[in-house]
Amino acid sequence: MRNGTTLAIESIADKIETEFWPLLEKHRLELATDLERMVLAPRVDQYRALEEAGVLFTIVARDNGAPIGYSVNFLGQHLHYGGLRYAQNDVLYLKPEYRTGQIGRMLIDATECEAKSLGCSMIIWHAKQATALEKILPRLGYGVQDIMFSKAL
Residue 69 within a domain: yes
Nearest to 107 by CA among 131, 133, 85, 84: 133
Q: How many domains does the chain have?
A: 1
**C-beta of residue 60 within 8 angstroms of C-beta of residue 7:** yes
Residue 152 within a domain: no
Residue 49 within a domain: yes
Residue 145 within a domain: no
Residue 117: CB atoms within 10 Å = 9
Residue 119 within a domain: yes
The 3-state DSSP class for residue 12 equals: coil
Span 14-59, pLDDT tens digits: 899 899 999 999 999 999 999 999 999 999 999 999 999 999 999 9
CA gap 33, 12 in Å, rounded:
24
Residue 149 within a domain: no
Span 48-105, pLDDT tens digits: 999 999 999 999 999 999 999 999 999 999 999 999 999 999 999 999 999 998 999 9
CA 79 to chain centre: 22
The domain spanning residue 20 has which CATH number? 3.40.630.30
pLDDT at 3 over 80: no
CA gap 65, 36 in Å, rounded:
33
- Contacts with 69 (C-beta within 8 Å, 6 or more apart), sequence order: 23, 60, 61, 92, 93, 94, 95, 98, 103, 104, 107
On whether the pTM is more than 0.85, the answer is yes
Residue 86 within a domain: yes
pLDDT at 2 over 70: no
Question: Average model confidence (pLDDT) for the chain?
Answer: 95
Domain that holds residue 16: 5-139
